[in-house]
Amino acid sequence: MSEVIPVRVFLATQMVQDGQEERYSFEEDGQLVTLKNGQRYLRYTEHQAGQVTPVQFRLGTGAVQLTRNGQVKTRLTFDKETTTTSRYRTPYGIIQMTVTTDELLAELNWPNASGSLHLAYRLTTGDQVVGNYQIELRFEA
């Protein structure tokens, strides 16, 4: 059995790829889900540029996992202690990426079903930097 609490999600992202910077932000309705085993997930559906993308953050101690299930399927693990490897599924095939987490700051208040997350990370494939990214996430019941 799991506990599901409706929350409002606020997200701002900054991406720098090939010297080009992009920013976007949005608000969405979401759910804070606590499973029987104690795992906690923030789930919402992102509506951006005519695309609908289910998104899930697994919020844990020390590491955070982001899963996006749109045209491009992504599962990234952010851990300040170690670089992680991810497979980035595109319409053209699977690309292996390395995730280097430069900053990870989570302030989570489970009793009030609220919190914030700041992430700064780099994606690389082979010796090539794909991009630098920052995510600012807030949620509240």
Tell me the average pLDDT across 52-74. Answer: 88
Could you tell me the sign of the dihedral formed by the alpha carbons of 82, 17, 133, 42, in that order? negative
**Residue-wise pLDDT tens digits, 9-23:** 999 999 999 899 999
78: CB partners within 8 A, 6+ apart: 63, 64, 65, 66, 84, 99, 101, 104, 119, 121
pLDDT of amino acid 36:
84
Q: Whole-angstrom Cα distance, residue 4 to residue 18?
A: 40
Q: Which two tokens stand for residue 29?
A: 């309705």
Domain that holds residue 117: 3-140
CATH label of the domain that carries residue 42: 2.40.128.20
**Any alpha helices (H) in the chain, and if so which ranges?**
none
Q: How many domains does the chain have?
A: 1
CA–centroid distance for 37 within its chain: 21
Question: Which one has a higher pLDDT value, 104 or 51?
Answer: 104
